[in-house]
Amino acid sequence: MDESNKEAEALRAEMLDRLRRIQGHLAEDVAGAMSVVPRHVFVPQVSLERAYGAGPVVTHRDEQGVAISSASAAGTVAGMLEQAQVRPGHRVLEIGSGTGYNAALLAHLVGPSGAVTTIEYDTRVADAARHALSAYGAEHVNVITGDGTLGSVEDAPFDRILVTAGAWDIPSAWRDQLAPGGRLVLPLRLRGLTRVAAFERDGQALRSLSVAEDGFIPMQGIGAVAEQNVSIGPGPDLTLRVDDGQPMDYAALAQALDRAPSIVWTGVSAPWAWTENLDFWLATLPGFCRIFVDQDAVAAGRVPRPKDSWGGSWGVFSGGSVAYLTARRTGGSDDMPMLEAGACGFGPDGTKLARALADRVTSWKREADGIEITIEAWPKGDLPADHEAGALLVVDKAENTFAVQISERTASVKA
């Protein structure tokens, strides 16, 4: 073995140690595949350290510099594979070949008796994936250049379908091409919030067995949905990302930051990691959206800091008013600060919106801290009345009606 292969092997071992440490567990078969498949072969444009580092490796950008393809972070890849539970002999479809790394892991997991088809939208990306898969020795992976929204009728049915780009809906092709007892794993966007869900059929519906929080490059092609990103203020200070076609009054919103904000504190304090599923709890409010807050505008004192240090928050808008979650330090350490949640509102109804957000945070603390969510996907319009009545959130998309159900956390890990 030459020096660089030895170094790559050592870095692969480090990567696996890190994943075990951070995630607390790593399925044996997934760890086995990740210890064998040389990730660096699929991202030849970066150093070995970067290839085996913790983050994603962006490989392609569009003319505006927006990332359109990447090797997902190793933790994301491992998490999705664990949710998918791929077994020897399985027929697997991957949507979003990217670098080909995940397809190579899938080929390892299904073994010689299984089959892997992967579909990539971008021709250049697909060519690079084919090249890397062949350099690794997995020429038998079938790389198709095309729109994964249509699946691959020729290769169906599939025991597993893994989607590695953010999807707004579940196209009928994926349902139809799933074998009986098959599992579909995808990052699903609902009201701008992404959850990687592993679905299996349950009668007419698909029901999630596990749900994990993560972020993904959005789907292109037929299944793409143009997100509305509406920026307001001089920085611009706030950018509202509005999903699922909620109507907006742009002209009125443009005036929202003209007045000083009103802030409502909630009295709800917790460590930084306290907000699990609070996003879905808040998403039931009308006008819910993600809000990105410009750090310079915070530093200049024009707008309060957002809930998260990286600039993200959740909020609501209505007419010419907007409110979002803010936070203030109440104790703890720099590594694990205690933060009190608050809501700041701008515009004529800013105080009302801030109060509605703050009340929802308080009710989350009282009723929903520690809840688990399950996502059901029903063919559009077929959501039974009792499921609708019990749901936290119902979101209608082009092909499906999604119902987010909540339950008490179970001690066991569902997978």
Ligand X SMILES: C[S@@+](CC[C@H](N)C(=O)[O-])C[C@H]1O[C@@H](n2cnc3c(N)ncnc32)[C@H](O)[C@@H]1O
In this structure, the number of other CB atoms found within 10 A of the CB of residue 45 comes to: 11
- Assigned token pair, 101: 């790394």
Q: CB 381 → ligand X: shortest distance, Å? A: 25
Q: CB 70 → ligand X: shortest distance, Å? A: 5
Nearest residue to 81 (alpha-carbon basis) of 36, 34, 117: 34
Q: CB 141 → ligand X: shortest distance, Å? A: 11
Q: Which is nearer to ligand X, 42 or 280 (CB)?
A: 42
Nearest residue to 133 (alpha-carbon basis) of 110, 162, 156, 107: 107
List all residues 6 or more positions away from 238 whose beta carbon is below 8 Å from its beta carbon. Answer: 231, 232, 257, 291, 292, 293, 294, 297, 303, 322, 324
Q: Which is nearer to ligand X, 26 or 165 (CB)?
A: 165
Residue in the block written with tokens 């996003």? 279
- The residues that touch ligand X, with contacts defined as CB under 6 A, are 68-72, 95-96, 98-99, 101-102, 119-122, 125, 147-149, 164-165, 216-217, 219-221, 223
| Residues paired with residue 318 on neighbouring β-strands, in sequence order | 321
**DSSP, res 222:** G
**DSSP, res 85:** T
Q: Say how far apart CA 280 and CA 404 lie, in whole Å.
A: 8
Which 3-state string (H, E, C) describes 233-273?
CCCCCEEEEECCCCCCCHHHHHCHHHCCCEEEEEEEEEECC
Q: Are 208 and 376 in contact (CB under 8 A)?
A: yes
| Phi, psi of 331, deg, nearest 5 | 160, -155
Distance from CA of residue 69 to its chain's centroid? 15
Q: Say how far apart CA 54 and CA 165 lie, in whole Å.
A: 19
Q: CB 370 → ligand X: shortest distance, Å? A: 31
Q: CB 183 → ligand X: shortest distance, Å? A: 17
Q: Which is nearer to ligand X, 218 or 304 (CB)?
A: 218
Residue 72 bears catalytic tag: yes
Q: CB 316 → ligand X: shortest distance, Å? A: 30
List all residues 6 or more positions away from 162 whose beta carbon is below 8 Å from its beta carbon. Answer: 80, 81, 84, 92, 93, 94, 95, 102, 106, 185, 186
Q: Residue 188 is which amino acid?
A: L
276: region left, alpha or beta (phi > 0 left; psi from -120 to 50 alpha): beta
Q: CB 98 → ligand X: shortest distance, Å? A: 3
Q: Residue 66 is which amino acid?
A: V
SS3 category, 25: coil
**DSSP, res 141:** S
Catalytic residue among 4, 35, 69, 72: 72
Q: CB 149 → ligand X: shortest distance, Å? A: 5
Q: Are 150 and 171 in contact (CB under 8 A)?
A: yes
Rg (CA), the chain: 22
Q: Which is nearer to ligand X, 20 or 61 (CB)?
A: 61
Q: Which is nearer to ligand X, 55 or 286 (CB)?
A: 55
Catalytic sites, residue numbers? 72
